[in-house]
Amino acid sequence: MDNTIDAQNVLMRVQQLTVEFPIQSTKIFSLGKQNFQALSNVSFEIRQGVTLGIVGESGSGKTTLARTLAGLIEPTVGSVSIAKNITPTRDIQFVFQDSLAALNPRMTVEQLILEPLDYQLPKMDVQQRQQKLKQSMEQVGLDYAQRQRYAHEFSGGQCQRIGIARAMITEPEILICDEPVSALDVSVRAQVINLLKDLQSQHGLTLIFIAHDLSLVRFISDEIIVLYRGRIVEQGHTEQVFNHPGHPYTRALIEVEPRPDPEFERQRVPVPIRSQNELEISELACVYVGRCKNRQSKCTQRQPEQRVLSDKQNVACFYPLKYPK
Amino acid sequence: MVTYFFRRLLGAIPTIFLIILISFFLIRLAPGGPFDFDRTLAPEIQANLNAQYHLDKPVYVQFGYYFLDIVQGDFGPSFQYKNYTVTELIVQGFPVSLQLGLSAMLLALLIGVAAGMFAAYKQNTRLDHLVMTLSMTGISIPNFVVAPLLILIFAIGVSLLPAGGWNNGAIQNQILPIITLALPLIAYIARISRSSMIEVLRMPYIRTAYSKGLPSFYIVTRHALKPTLLPVISYLGPAIAGLITGSVVVEQIYGIPGLGRYFIQGALNRDYTLVMGVVVFYGILIIALNLIVDLLYGWLDPQIRLHGRSNVR
């Protein structure tokens, strides 16, 4: 990660990011190491105060992308640059999906929330720290009187609030939320989402929000990125992408969302999942070609570059979907 | 916590009773007796001696006499060391064994945990493989081989250290016995703490710690150390038993006047009261130390604090 961005408003710039993981070979004698590409050639920018949603199915690389942005995974190729005034360890914080497991079971809430300060501002006196703790616990809707309890004594939603308080204690610029509510029930989910929105408006936070729940992402984000097998297939302004998806995969994702309309659900045409012959297609082909209904010969020959569909939308497809004006 | 402590103490009573019962009959099953000497005693003297120590009575009556004494805290007189009671011999020998055992335990914990955590942090590198190979070697070689080897190298080869003797606990006399006792412990503890630490480092809350921007060393010592120690602590109970049996051999080889040597001499001489005394004493010691280990657990992991019986599954 390097602090090189000088441009106005841009907090983070990701350029040609590729992340590979080694595959453990099951054979005793294997020739060379094999790698799995979790992310290939991902590029985008994050502007200050914006909420960026990242969507995609399981295994599409959402979590790898989030962790790379947080500096928890080293990129194999490419770079993540951040604005000059940003200190990564303090200004980029992370909220995890499994809220209870992400909290050390041997630490009290007070220790959990204040720990980043121990290391970053060791000179802060006890009174200031308690003040800060009280403020941050109340901000996320926790009772300051419960600061001596351990994480396992709280409910899932409260654990996620602890996780958020902990992330906010260093007053970060960017908050990366990796499926922060997918383990919570629907009513608690709404509370946590609203909390994140409130924090954003109070502190001018930039949010990176990962979820597989599309309606949630549509609600919370200004811009979205659609990932498919480690590649960005579409990115742009949320409403534009949702109303006029350019990539057939984006449309499929939107269409599989259940709707509270039994009539519609009864007539639903199932969307194809990964087809068998996907494996036989050459590595050069478009990643989506195996499932694509609109594929043509060009699609099996090379991977489409991202292209501008409008000033609000980019798509990586040779034949983007068209809509009547 | 207090009720738990007392319940455990009460629970120890039947255990100690069984130890006394079984070892009492076992030692009497061994052929010969305390007063079988090379030259035969006159039958009257033999009879007198046997009467003096109740050895002429049936075994279960002997057990009754012995048990009544022991309940009052009296281990009885030694059959071989005239004018000494067993208690006096224990008081004399135990501090020496304790000093050796504690030093070996501390050494093993320090080196074992450090080596194990280091290997885990460098998992699957050459350094990791080196540490694990060494520890496997440490486990495989028995102490009665290690001790003569060490003497051969350090006492005879380079004559840095004395080959044996106690010399009132001079430091150079302690080094070789402590190393001999500690080596297999170091090896076991290194293996246990390595696998435990590998598991801990994969925990989501360790990832959280990294995301807080904390440096690796801080995360390992502040977040990973305590949970890594849990299985090591639970190994300490058996480790103490291992140290005690180990010290019996090691004290004999290095000629150290500890409790272990009295124990071996006592067993060879059929010194019934001395053997019994040492067995019961060690039994109580191991039970007490295991209780301490269990109490340590609660300190390391608040989730298993002992509030009596829990209604939570």
Domains of chain B: 2-71 (no CATH), 86-269 (1.10.3720.10)
Residues of A with CB below 8 A from B296's CB?
A: none
B43 in A contact zone (CB under 8 Å): no
Amino acid at the residue A187? S
To probe the interface with A, which of B212, B219, B229 has the most A CB atoms within 10 Å?
A: B212
Subunit contact B207:A102, Cβ cutoff 8 A: yes
3-state secondary structure of A34: strand
A96 in B contact zone (CB under 8 Å): yes
pLDDT digit string, tens, across residues B153-175: 998 888 888 888 888 878 888 99
Q: How far is B199 from chain A (nearest CA, A)?
A: 14
Is the pLDDT reported for residue B2 higher than 80? no
Cross-chain CB nearest to B211 (options A70, A106, A152): A70
Q: State which H helix or E strand residue A92 sits in.
A: strand A92-95
Phi first, then psi: give them for residue A108, nearest 5 degrees: -80, 165
Higher pLDDT, B105 or A3: B105
Is the pLDDT reported for residue B303 higher than 70? no
Higher pLDDT, A273 or B67: B67
Match 């041997």 to its residue by tokens: A106
Higher pLDDT, B37 or B61: B61
Question: CA-CA distance, A162 to A140, in Å (whole number)?
Answer: 8
Lowest mean pLDDT: which of A26-30, B188-192, B208-212? Answer: A26-30
Higher pLDDT, B182 or A293: B182
B147, B254 contact by CB (below 8 A): yes
Question: Percent of chain B beyond pLDDT 70?
Answer: 94
Subunit contact A106:B213, Cβ cutoff 8 A: no
Question: CA-CA distance, A140 to B62, in Å (whole number)?
Answer: 74
B207, A96 contact by CB (below 8 A): yes
Question: CA-CA distance, B108 to B235, in Å (whole number)?
Answer: 12
Cross-chain CB nearest to A106 (options B207, B213, B227): B227
pLDDT digit string, tens, across residues B118-149: 999 998 899 999 999 999 998 899 889 999 99
Higher pLDDT, A151 or B35: A151
B242: how many CB neighbours lie within 10 A of its CB?
A: 16
A166 in B contact zone (CB under 8 Å): yes
pLDDT of residue A28: 65
B171: how many CB neighbours lie within 10 A of its CB?
A: 9
Selection from A290, A286, A250 nearest residue A274 by Cα: A290
A162, A103 contact by CB (below 8 A): yes
Q: How far is B97 from chain A (nearest CA, A)?
A: 36
Beta strands across the sheet bearing A174-178: A92-95, A174-178, A206-210, A51-55, A223-228, A231-237, A313-315, A307-310
Subunit contact B205:A102, Cβ cutoff 8 A: yes
Selection from A205, A202, A129 nearest residue A173 by Cα: A205
pLDDT of residue A281: 61
Radius of gyration of chain B (CA): 24
Structure tokens at A84: 């000059």
* pLDDT confidence tier of residue B201, bands split at 50, 70 and 90: very high
A105 in B contact zone (CB under 8 Å): yes
pLDDT of residue B1: 67
pLDDT of residue A271: 64
- For the segment B72-77, the average pLDDT, to the nearest whole number, is 85
pLDDT digit string, tens, across residues B238-249: 888 888 878 888
3-state DSSP helix/strand/coil % of chain B, to nearest 5: 75, 0, 25
Subunit contact B213:A89, Cβ cutoff 8 A: yes
pLDDT of residue A279: 52
pLDDT of residue A42: 92
Question: CA-CA distance, A38 to A290, in Å (whole number)?
Answer: 18
A322: how many CB neighbours lie within 10 A of its CB?
A: 9
pLDDT of residue A283: 72
Higher pLDDT, B178 or B311: B178
Strands (E), chain B: none
Subunit contact A102:B208, Cβ cutoff 8 A: yes
Query: ipTM for the complex?
Result: 0.80
Question: CA-CA distance, A164 to A167, in Å (whole number)?
Answer: 5
Could you give the count of Cα atoms lying within 13 Å of B225 in the half-sphere of its Cβ? 12
Selection from B127, B123, B298, B112 nearest residue B202 by Cα: B123
pLDDT of residue B296: 79
Taking only the tens of pLDDT, chain A with its 325 residues reads 777 777 678 899 999 999 998 877 666 666 666 788 899 999 999 999 899 999 988 888 999 999 999 888 999 999 899 888 888 888 999 999 888 899 998 899 999 999 988 887 778 888 999 999 999 999 999 999 999 998 888 998 899 999 999 999 988 999 999 999 888 888 888 889 999 999 999 998 999 999 888 888 999 999 999 999 899 999 999 999 999 999 999 988 888 887 788 888 888 776 666 555 555 566 778 888 888 888 888 888 888 888 888 888 999 999 888 888 6
Match 């497991």 to its residue by tokens: A101
Residues of A with CB below 8 A from B203's CB?
A: 101
To probe the interface with A, which of B124, B199, B201, B208 has the most A CB atoms within 10 Å?
A: B208
Subunit contact A103:B212, Cβ cutoff 8 A: no
Match 């070697």 to its residue by tokens: B137
Which residues are paired to A224 by β-bridges?
A: A53, A236
B313 in A contact zone (CB under 8 Å): no
Structure tokens at B307: 């509030």
B152: how many CB neighbours lie within 10 A of its CB?
A: 11
Interface list for B 216-245 with A (CB within 8 A):
218, 223, 226-227
The DSSP string of A252-279 is HHHHHS--S-HHHHHTPPPPP---GGGG
Residues of B with CB below 8 A from A102's CB?
A: 204-205, 207-208
B301 in A contact zone (CB under 8 Å): yes
pLDDT digit string, tens, across residues B40-55: 777 888 888 888 778 8
